[in-house]
Structure 1
Amino acid sequence: MTKKASLGIVFATSAAILWGFTGLLSQYLFKETDVSIGWLMGVKTLISAFIVLLAAYHTEGNKLFEVWRHPSDYLQMAAYGLIGLAGVQLTYSLTVYDSNAAIATILQTLGVVGVIIYSALVFHQRPRRQEYLAVIIALIGTYLLVTRGHGLNIALSPATLRDGSLLVLCGTGLAVLPVGLLKKYSSLTILGWGLLIGGIIFEVGHPFWVGLPTFSLINTSCIILITLIGTTLSYLLFLHSMNYVNSTVAALLDTFEPLTAAVGTMLFFNASYNWAEYLGSFLILSTVFILAVGKKN
């Protein structure tokens, strides 16, 4: 495996772990405090957008605005901002609210199937044998985590199934929509404008001055961590990883997110796990080693 591929795997894996961690923080806010989903979405997305755009302008200057001079590019940017960034954040938060962080991240993992189908149909990119194997093992691991080894007995509410299905579709968009843009623009540029588009949409639906939550030390700390780590840094790492690995590999490595969330719910929310969940976690972890033995190309 090349050094670039290794770097891409590190970026994508780090993003997934950070998402899993901040999913736990979101679960705490939504279940234990008066912080609403609508309020949090707009605030964290807009703040992250301004941080990333300032960093992009500092490093690239006026090149930051190049994307808005080409209609095909800004249409793709709008789709990435609405479906990939805003869509994933909203459907993920709704699924956390309906169930918990572990279930939400497990369902998001299934987006890798959509990525493979999209890549095959649009880019005529046939997955390598290692990717097929990694997908199968990741899905088996996800199945064991969801069912706890009890056949098809999945205790998910209708709301969880609805929001989780939308999460899978948006997760696919998150991985495939920015691929063309990454060939022309930097990760900072794409992420900054995408977040700004999503943040504006959220603020139209729920302005930040409406329904202000109670600001305690714990609540404020969680909001800051979700904004800086769970939105700004994690999305930047994931997007940057696709400069080194393809979207299929990046989406496969997102399986570290449900693993992090599952362990976190056990440690911090007193969740219990059986043999099937432990085995599922092991299988999910093994996907990174399967990808590591792939061909250099």
Structure 2
Amino acid sequence: MLRSSRHKGLALVIIGATCWGIGGTVAKKLFAQYGIDVNWLVSIRLLAAGLLLLILQLLLGRRASMMAVWKNKATIARLILFSIFGMLAVQYTYMASIQHGNAAVATLLQYLSPVMIIVYLLLRKQMALTLRDLIMVALALLGCFLLLTNGSLAGLAVPVPAIVWGILSGVTAAFYTLYAAELIRQYDSLTIVGWAMVIGGCGMSFIHPPWQVDLARMTVEVWLYMLFVIVFGTMLAFWFYVSSLHYLPAREVSLLGSLEPLAAVITTVFWLHTPFGLLQWLGTGCIVGLILLLTLQRKSAAAPA
């Protein structure tokens, strides 16, 4: 029975993390090949995925917990701030980085958010600097340098807008992680994420309403790619990843979560045929190594899930 539960947890986290990574690559195809507007994709992705998560909560009989977040004024204010400056901001900056560059670089830059959290906590004097921290920062800097320049100081291997949006994605992901902690402690994580997606999607709709779309571009193939980004790359990816925590330790889930940047890199290079230099692969390895090191640190510190 234990073995069966473990296998179920492994399947859930592997599928979830892989779908996250592939979802970014599919989004890049929608931008580059079909001219889909990034503002429209973000608004429709958040609204649709958020509604699907909330419907899932209803089907699982969690209506009471789903509505509990709206009974406290302080919680409502925190949820709205998290939805706009956390959920919407991280989704938009990530997608903008993909549009200007590629999913591999955008995902890897976003995964620098733990280092940004460490720097923030050090500046706030909420933690002491250790040798492990210095190694992780060095890995992050080296990985970024190789990834973005391919080892050459003569020029960047990635467009500047992609780098700027990617770094902003890391910053907003750090805020997302820190600001969500209290909400997740009080309420079900799928409920918080579902509402945040819907609120963020509504906010984005003021910039680009989801119903304003060029239907001439929306071929069957485009709709299928959109369906993958919304259902598999967003809703199911998060649901499976969170559900895996019921069967596996948080350390293992975090380790296997590193499949997301790997999936993004592999699909970007081999499916979209994006050039990737040898030193960029080395930079990718540095950042994935950083993710693994951070995960192991969480275990040694006995951090809660």
TM-score in terms of structure 2 length: 0.79
- Answering whether residue 65 of structure 2 is matched by residue 51 of structure 1, we say no
Gaps spanning 5+ residues in structure 2: where? 1-7
Instruction: Report the Cα distance in structure 1 between the residues aligned to 2:114 and 2:292, rounded to whole angstroms.
Output: 17
Q: Secondary structure at the match of 1:177?
A: helix
Aligned length: 288
Instruction: Report the Cα distance in structure 2 between the residues aligned to 1:138 and 1:8, rounded to whole angstroms.
Output: 29
| 1:8 and 1:245 in contact (8 A); partners too | no
- 1:117 aligned to which of 119, 127, 135: 119
| 1:41 and 1:199 in contact (8 A); partners too | yes
- 1:233 aligned to which of 230, 233, 236: 236
Describe the shift of the 1:14–1:170 C-alpha distance in structure 2 as closer, same or farther (beyond 3 A): farther
| CA apart distance, 1:32 | 0.5
Instruction: Report the Cα distance in structure 2 between the residues aligned to 1:8 and 1:124, rounded to whole angstroms.
Output: 34
Equivalent residue, structure 2, for 1:3: none
- 1:210 aligned to which of 187, 209, 212: 212
- 1:222 aligned to which of 217, 222, 225: 225
Instruction: Report the Cα distance in structure 1 between the residues aligned to 2:113 and 2:244, rounded to whole angstroms.
Output: 17
| 1:112 and 1:135 in contact (8 A); partners too | no
- Answering whether residue 78 of structure 2 is matched by residue 76 of structure 1, we say yes
Equivalent residue, structure 1, for 2:272: 269
Gaps spanning 5+ residues in structure 1: where? 1-6
| Letter of the 1:169 counterpart | V
Describe the shift of the 1:123–1:254 C-alpha distance in structure 2 as closer, same or farther (beyond 3 A): farther
Equivalent residue, structure 1, for 2:175: 173
| 1:42 and 1:208 in contact (8 A); partners too | yes
Equivalent residue, structure 1, for 2:98: 96
Instruction: Report the Cα distance in structure 2 between the residues aligned to 1:25 and 1:197, rounded to whole angstroms.
Output: 24
- 1:145 aligned to which of 130, 133, 147: 147
Describe the shift of the 1:11–1:282 C-alpha distance in structure 2 as closer, same or farther (beyond 3 A): farther
Describe the shift of the 1:10–1:219 C-alpha distance in structure 2 as closer, same or farther (beyond 3 A): same
Describe the shift of the 1:120–1:184 C-alpha distance in structure 2 as closer, same or farther (beyond 3 A): farther
| 2:108 and 2:287 in contact (8 A); partners too | no
| Letter of the 1:76 counterpart | R
| 2:115 and 2:136 in contact (8 A); partners too | no
Instruction: Report the Cα distance in structure 2 between the residues aligned to 1:55 and 1:235, rounded to whole angstroms.
Output: 12
| CA apart distance, 1:278 | 2.7
Equivalent residue, structure 2, for 1:86: 88
- 1:211-269 deviation line (CA, Å, top 9, x unaligned): 234332321111011001222133445667899759xx96x986654433222221012
Query: Larger deviation: 151-160 or 173-182?
Result: 151-160
| CA apart distance, 1:91 | 1.3
Equivalent residue, structure 2, for 1:295: 300
Equivalent residue, structure 2, for 1:283: 286
Instruction: Report the Cα distance in structure 1 between the residues aligned to 2:68 and 2:151, rounded to whole angstroms.
Output: 51
| 2:258 and 2:291 in contact (8 A); partners too | no
Describe the shift of the 1:77–1:14 C-alpha distance in structure 2 as closer, same or farther (beyond 3 A): farther
Instruction: Report the Cα distance in structure 2 between the residues aligned to 1:242 and 1:120, rounded to whole angstroms.
Output: 29
Describe the shift of the 1:102–1:288 C-alpha distance in structure 2 as closer, same or farther (beyond 3 A): closer
| 2:101 and 2:162 in contact (8 A); partners too | yes
- Identity across matched positions, percent: 24
| CA apart distance, 1:271 | 2.5
| 1:106 and 1:146 in contact (8 A); partners too | no
| Letter of the 1:167 counterpart | S
| Letter of the 2:272 counterpart | F
| CA apart distance, 1:289 | 4.8
Describe the shift of the 1:296–1:275 C-alpha distance in structure 2 as closer, same or farther (beyond 3 A): same
Equivalent residue, structure 1, for 2:27: 26
Equivalent residue, structure 1, for 2:68: 66
Instruction: Report the Cα distance in structure 2 between the residues aligned to 1:25 and 1:217, rounded to whole angstroms.
Output: 15
Instruction: Report the Cα distance in structure 2 between the residues aligned to 1:37 and 1:112, rounded to whole angstroms.
Output: 26
| 2:258 and 2:292 in contact (8 A); partners too | no
| CA apart distance, 1:72 | 2.2
| Letter of the 2:206 counterpart | V
